[in-house]
Every structure is written in structure tokens, then in C-alpha cells.
Structure 1
Amino acid sequence: MFFSFFSCFFRLFKVNNFNLNSGPIFQGYYIHLTACHRKPERSFFWKGKQFPVCARCTGIHFGYFAFPIFLFGFYSINIWVTLAMMSITYIDGIIQAFFNLESNNIRRVITGVISGVGSMSLVSITGIAIGKLILQYIN
């Protein structure tokens, strides 16, 4: 069970055609530190070069920039809304898989940003809850 959880975050790929941008080398393998598929048809390109992650992951990473908004208390989102925001990417994936409706990169980026913001909201909610438990334990 631990290995299956761990393999979601680290994937070892056999190095056949070595590329310096492929990641750290470990005995003939390179370590890919994301679970992104990096498919060219689902990625953005800038000046002829593919982004290191797909359009959805690009949106998720942009959504991570919302973390200071939640961290410093400028805005907070309900836990249920947060979970709904995070589930949007799964809903889009299910629609693509079962209804044979291919989404475009704009939809992928938008759902990614929403999911990234939801993820940072969840991190903030979890951190605040842990902080309150620690303060309750100390007092």
C-alpha cells in the first residue's frame, strides 16, 4: 500500500534517450517528481518548447499562488466549497473518460486553477485546525 501511494508522486523512468532536462539520474533511471503525463497535445508551448507540465497542472500551479491570501487571513473558503473546487478536475476527467468528450487546454487550465486554489484553501484550513489543536493542548 505504501508503495502505491509513493508511486503517485515519484515515477522512475528508464533512460533510453538521455536528455539533460529529464531530471536527476539514478542508476540508469531518472526521477520524475510529478504525476503529470506531459502529453504534447495537452500541454502549452512557448517559443516552440513544451511546458514541463500539462495545461491542467499549469493551472494547478498557478492556483497555488493563492496560498498567501488564505495564509494571512485575507479570505477564507468553506471546507465544502473547498472540496467542491478540488473535485472539479476529477469531474472533468470523468466526463472525458465516460462521455467521450475531449476538453480543450483552456478548460484544463481553468479547472486546474480552481483546483489549485481549492488545494491551497484546504492546506490553510488544515493548518489553522492543527494550530488550534496545538494551542488548545498548550493551554
Structure 2
Amino acid sequence: MVPCHRKKERCLTIRGYTLPLCARCTGILGGYLFFPILIAFHLQLPIWLGLLLNIPMVLDGWTQKMNYRMSNNPLRFSTGIMCGFGQSVLIVGISEGIVSYIL
């Protein structure tokens, strides 16, 4: 089960259908779609880039939680995609590093 709050007002609605996950989680899952591309084309992006791509989502979520500002679904979705892509970069980079160390 995906740990998502699934608040209806934070979920994306497409053609009258409300998605079951919030905009941020939907973006993260969308960002994970880059994972097979990175693997298939042997793209090794730097680990620091993967870490850097996670920062916008963390800042967006934290500033919203602390009531410094109100976020919106397009921003949640876009920072989620960046985070999912960043996590894909981290997983590929760390996995390939472990494999090359073992072999």
C-alpha cells in the first residue's frame, strides 16, 4: 500500500475522474518511469544530481506543512516528478556502483 494521504482536494482530476493518489505521489510515480530509460541506455548521472532533484519536493512539502505558504497541485506534481526522477538516478547510480564493486 502506498503511504499517501489521498486527500481529495490534493488529487489530480482528469476528465472528471479523480486519481486515487495525491498530485505529489502521482508525480513521484511518474518520475519513476525514467528508471527503465536510465537502465536501458546505461545513463549514469551523478549521485549529487539525484540528491539535488529531491530538494524542491522536500522544500515544497515542508513550507506547506509549516504553514509558510500554500502549495498547489501543479507545483506538487512537478516537484514530485523531479523527486521520482532523482530517486531513479540514485537507485541506478548506487546499484551500478555496488555491482561494479562486487564484480
The answer to whether the superposition gives a TM-score over 0.5 is yes
**2:35 is aligned with 1:64:** no
> Is 1:89 the equivalent of 2:40?
no
Gaps of 5+ in 1: 1-32
- TM-score, normalised with respect to structure 1: 0.68
Within a 5 Å distance, the mapping from 1:7-86 to structure 2 comes to 33-86=1-54
State the TM-score, normalizing by the size of structure 2: 0.89
Percent sequence identity over aligned pairs: 37
**What do the CA deviations read for 1:46-95 (whole angstroms, capped 9, x no partner)?**
34332111001111111111112221345332111211112321111111
Higher helix share: 2
How far, CA to CA, are the matches of 1:74 and 1:102 in structure 2? 39
Return the match for 2:76 from 108, 113, 133.
108
- Higher RCO structure (Cα 8 Å, ≥6 apart): 2
Q: Which has the larger radius of gyration?
A: 1
Cα RMSD (Å): 1.5
The number of aligned residues is 103
Deviation at 1:99, TM superposition (A): 4.6
- Identify the residue that residue 128 of structure 1 maps to in structure 2: 96
